[in-house]
Chains A and B, each alone.
Chain A
């Protein structure tokens, strides 16, 4: 082990909860039997929902693209085994809300037949083309943040990356999937890191591990030496949350990441070790992401790490871990510090699921009653981001969101150190989460109100404009009919015609009335009299 403790920097605060990692590290990674049914949520990453490419009834092969990345930040979803698409509908997904979301259901045909795939000739490929291919791989940050990896690998001329950091700290209690991955597949991780190094153009590579994983440190050092890769395995003291990317960056480089910016602004990019391994599998074998390693621990018969296909239900996972033991009342996804209770044991495994803990009331007793804050500021001492959790608590609790933002609410990483040390057992992080999502909702409402205002203004302007245009047209037409010369000529013509008719009428004289009999003369006189009478009093 070639490291020197004096090379390690520090971050403020942090806690050291009981690790409970031994239970799940006694056995090597086991592979799960092929489940009959797989449910693949479309939202397994941060960003836009991908676009579905298949229909119900389609037969798909393992690794086939089911939904492609759509938008700037998005990730693809692939079939994790061969079989038939039986449904595309909303199902409950592993999310703290317990709400359903769009999923593709696959019925496995049992053959587990791969789509034809080949290694990528990445050394002779245009970099943009390679990034585009990685975007198709569906790889996201497998440490739990699930940010699409191809976005982080895109070249950024403004912020060149000089240091690549691989995150193998895995600081959260119970979780050991990265530990086992490093012990067993260190070569693949290191090769993945070499590809990342090439893509980013970085000159330095640091691999950070906590000192509670000596086997992994040995394996990683051996793999680095074997690959003749210019990387340094750095062992950091076990202290939660050193696995948070920005805390790890501080530990390894002594640089603090900007709160409102990206870590690339200080020339650092950080990836989880499992992400690097997945990238290697994709580049060197053409395998898209169809499985991940998940830690199954807590109240199960055979705790350990399992290589499971994405979309396997948690029920099937726990079955494979020897089944749950009596008294299990809850299933926690993630660790005890940042994890959440699964809404159902039938939810599918996703790319974010690194650990499932079958919990009992003994394992995670219900929190003691919340007592008033005594202003001891133990939370401020424990906060790894240098925030003032007690102030944030006041303002979040009273829904004074602007004030909470002034105290940098959004810099909180929700690590739970403050809640862990609070002697009054206040669920501080829950208050911060509430305040954060309320702020986001209000900002969203404000944006849509602004949009509505603009649209209403434009509409009123349009109505006004159309009214003016109509009035103008009307005025033009009237003016034309009054002033035009043609019209006067017409009038004169009509008058002339009327005068002619009148003249004619006056000059007209009755014919053949001279030499008529007395009878006829009398008749003519009668008709003339009747005509005069009719003319005198018209109906």
Chain B
């Protein structure tokens, strides 16, 4: 009887030590759910969701403060992925936060730009190059199309141009079956 008691206590102590050690050794930094949500978000950093960036929005979703349908750049596909991850029903995008648009990039009209650096300060991904009283230009490959630079420009020289489809980015379309219309006799 006592032997069994000691065995059980010993076992409990041993397993407790193992678990305690594992908790220290394999500690997860940060909230893994936030990172998983953040991985789904398109990283446009546009703030259309009402949060100052994708990470804050992901944090808000994880905390249950924000809904999953506030990200227009992510589109319906993004909502569906978030719903899958969080185990909730997908829902249509909330139109209050905007509607999905084709991916575009900012283009600065270099003849008008006065070099005020306001757009550089607004760009969330440092995709605008320039300095005070020097012409600015957008690094197209790094522009997320968030439109945050458009409003601050005092001379309205920034336009959003939808990305043109070119041969390296061209996609095969989903095969569609032509429907034959039969005229009634």
| Bound together | yes
Question: Is B166 touching A99 in the complex (CB atoms < 8 A)?
Answer: yes
Q: How many angstroms from the CA of A434 to the CA of B172 in the assembled complex?
A: 5
Q: Chain B: interface residue count, which band? A: 20 to 34
B144 beta carbon closer than 8 Å to chain A: yes
Question: Is B167 touching A95 in the complex (CB atoms < 8 A)?
Answer: yes
Knowing A370-B177, A455-B125, A459-B126, say if A449 contacts B42 (CB, 8 Å): yes
B104 beta carbon closer than 8 Å to chain A: no
CB contact between A369 and one of B38, B43, B177 (< 8 Å): that residue: B177
Q: How many angstroms from the CA of A95 to the CA of B169 in the assembled complex?
A: 13
Question: Is A431 touching B177 in the complex (CB atoms < 8 A)?
Answer: no
Segment at the interface with B among A127-135, A149-157, A404-412, A437-445: A437-445
A456 beta carbon closer than 8 Å to chain B: yes
Question: Is A434 touching B127 in the complex (CB atoms < 8 A)?
Answer: no
How far is the CB of B170 from the nearest CB of chain A, in Å?
4
Question: Is A451 touching B172 in the complex (CB atoms < 8 A)?
Answer: no
How far is the CB of A71 from the nearest CB of chain B, in Å?
13
Question: Is A452 touching B170 in the complex (CB atoms < 8 A)?
Answer: no
A101 beta carbon closer than 8 Å to chain B: yes
B174 beta carbon closer than 8 Å to chain A: yes
A203 beta carbon closer than 8 Å to chain B: no
Those of A416-451 within 8 Å (CB) of chain B: 427, 430-431, 433-434, 436-438, 440-441, 444-445, 448-451
CB contact between B171 and one of A93, A369, A437, A450 (< 8 Å): that residue: A437
Q: Which of A437, A441, A449, A460 has the most CB of B within 10 A?
A: A449
Question: Is B175 touching A450 in the complex (CB atoms < 8 A)?
Answer: no
Chain A residues with Cβ under 8 A from B42's Cβ? 445, 449
Question: Is B171 touching A101 in the complex (CB atoms < 8 A)?
Answer: no
Q: How many angstroms from the CA of A183 to the CA of B4 in the assembled complex?
A: 91
Task: Specify the main secondary structure of chain A where it touches its partner.
Answer: helix
Question: Is B43 touching A101 in the complex (CB atoms < 8 A)?
Answer: no
Q: Which of A436, A444, A453 has the most CB of B within 10 A?
A: A453
Knowing A101-B167, A445-B42, A459-B126, say if A452 contacts B144 (CB, 8 Å): yes
B59 beta carbon closer than 8 Å to chain A: no
Question: Is A450 touching B43 in the complex (CB atoms < 8 A)?
Answer: yes
Nearest CB in chain A to that of B164: its residue:
A99
A400 beta carbon closer than 8 Å to chain B: no
B45 beta carbon closer than 8 Å to chain A: yes
Chain B residues with Cβ under 8 A from A456's Cβ? 43, 45, 53-55, 124-125
Could you mark each residue 109-149 of chain A with 1 if its beta carbon is under 8 Å from any beta carbon of chain B, else 0? 00000000000000000000000000000000000000000
B27 beta carbon closer than 8 Å to chain A: no
How far is the CB of B137 from the nearest CB of chain A, in Å?
16
How far is the CB of A392 from the nearest CB of chain B, in Å?
13
Could you mark each residue 172-210 of chain A with 1 if its beta carbon is under 8 Å from any beta carbon of chain B, else 0? 000000000000000000000000000000000000000
CB contact between A427 and one of B41, B55, B175 (< 8 Å): that residue: B175
Chain B residues with Cβ under 8 A from A460's Cβ? 53
Knowing A97-B167, A452-B45, say if A459 contacts B125 (CB, 8 Å): yes
Those of A449-500 within 8 Å (CB) of chain B: 449-453, 455-460
CB contact between A452 and one of B142, B166, B172, B177 (< 8 Å): that residue: B142
Q: How many angstroms from the CA of A399 to the CA of B169 in the assembled complex?
A: 19
Chain A residues with Cβ under 8 A from B166's Cβ? 99, 101
B31 beta carbon closer than 8 Å to chain A: no
11 residue pairs A–B, Cβ–Cβ below 8 Å? A43-B167, A97-B167, A370-B177, A427-B175, A430-B172, A434-B175, A437-B171, A451-B142, A452-B44, A456-B54, A456-B55
B residues with CB within 8 A of A: 38, 41-45, 53-55, 124-127, 142, 144, 165-167, 169-175, 177
List the 9 closest pairs (A to B, CB-CB), nearest first: A433-B172, A452-B43, A430-B175, A449-B43, A455-B125, A437-B171, A97-B170, A437-B172, A453-B43
Q: A95-B167, A437-B172, A452-B125 given; name 20 further pairs at CB < 8 Å.
A: A97-B170, A99-B167, A99-B170, A101-B166, A427-B175, A431-B174, A434-B171, A434-B172, A434-B173, A440-B171, A441-B169, A444-B169, A448-B144, A451-B142, A452-B142, A452-B144, A453-B38, A458-B126, A459-B125, A460-B53
